[in-house]
Amino acid sequence: MIAVDRDPSPGKKVQLMATCLCDSFFDDVAVATVEVLEYLKCEVTFPEEQTCCGQPAFNAGDWKSSRKVVRHCVKTFAGDEPVVVPSGSCAAMVFHGALLEFEEESDLPEVRQLAGRTWEIADFIVNGLRVAEWPGKFPAKAAFHRSCHTRETNSGAATRTLLESIDGLELVPFGEGEQCCGFGGTFSVTFPNISAAMGKLKLGNALKENPEYLVSGDMGCLLHLGGIATREGKTIKTRHVVQILRDSLRNGGLIP
């Protein structure tokens, strides 16, 4: 497991890390995260100074630039409250990637402190708040793409637990389900040909099962897969897991 040791009872006062992708493109995912957390009686604060987790530069190999952003992140999310992120990728950056690039830095303890209380949203709901069944209903057929940054973390299983318990939601397995979608952050623009080929493969495998929705816990994957689908005129609705959770509550009349 790549996850660090965390407080098993993190409490319900949480800080939201919205992610730069939701900040720029996918505001409804951040909205849904707040609505879902508040439905679970969490008190959500949104530190206004937040920007990005530092991953783009980390993956590009520019660790010096990345550390600058991580330091800003550590300052922004100060305190002891759990930090909840609607992205397996950004979460893994905080609790794994950042530790790697701070190995020889004197402020490693501060980075580790943040790492120890950072949760991907599905992991937080299932393993932090001990919610194993999701109420409401969502009558549809969906393909779930487990994003790669949740490998070796609890997030993949947690997401499945939640989605599989939703009334009416049918999760369809599809071919080569464990394969990467080809997004990979900066990889998507430094290796545009391979990245697109991987995306088409993933999309093709998923579409074979005729799902109405393509669901993932990372908007990076969906930005990429949705972008290919739109370009190729394929009809599939892309949704973040947390949007499905929120819509399930709405459909069940549990939230407005």
Partner 1 sequence: MKSQPIDTYASELAEDVRRAVADGSASGYDRRAASLFSDFEDPDFLRRTAGDVKQHTLENLDTYLAQTEDRLKENGVEVHWAGDAEAACRAVLKIMRDNGATKVVKSKSMATEEIHLNDFLEREGIESLETDLGEFIVQIDHDHPSHIVKPIIHKNRQGIARSYEREGLGAYDDRPEVITARARKFLRKKYLEASVGLTGANFIVAESGRLVLVTNEGNSRFCLAGTDIHIAVVGIEKVIPRDRDLSLFLSLLGRSATGQQLTVYTEFISGPRAEGQPDGPRQMHVILLDNRRTEVLASNCRDILRCIRCGACLNVCPIYRQASGHAYRSVYPGPVGAVLSPLLAGEKFSELADLPKASSLCGACKEVCPVNIPIPDLLLRLRDKAKHEGIKSPGTPPMGGWAYLASQPTVWRASLSAGRLMNLMPLNLIPVPALRAWTKSRQLPEWRGGAFRKWMKTRKIGGKDS
Owner of token pair 């697109």: 196
Neighbours of 45 (CB within 10 A): 12
Work out whether 178 is an interface residue with partner 1 (CB under 8 A). Answer: yes
Of 67-75, 129-137, 159-167, 240-248, which segment contacts partner 1 by CB under 8 A? 67-75
Contacts with partner 1 in 213-242 (CB under 8 A)?
223-224, 226-228, 230-231
Measured in degrees and rounded to the nearest 5, phi and psi for residue 56 equal -55, -45
The DSSP annotation for 189-254 comes to: HHSHHHHHHHHHHHHHHHHTT--SEEEES-HHHHHHHHHHHHHTT---EEEEHHHHHHHHHHHTTS
Q: Is there a contact between 142 and 163 (Cβ–Cβ < 8 Å)?
A: yes
Owner of token pair 């599905």: 122
CB of 129 to partner 1, least distance (A): 19
Work out whether 41 is an interface residue with partner 1 (CB under 8 A). Answer: no
Work out whether 61 is an interface residue with partner 1 (CB under 8 A). Answer: yes
Measured in degrees and rounded to the nearest 5, phi and psi for residue 16 equal -95, 125
Residues in contact with partner 1, shown as a per-residue x/- string from 116 to 155 under the rule CB under 8 A? --------------------------------xx-xx---
Contacts with partner 1 in 179-208 (CB under 8 A)?
179-180, 182-199, 201
Nearest CB to partner 1, comparing residues 66 and 248? 66
Of 16-24, 105-113, 118-126, 129-137, which segment contacts partner 1 by CB under 8 A? 16-24
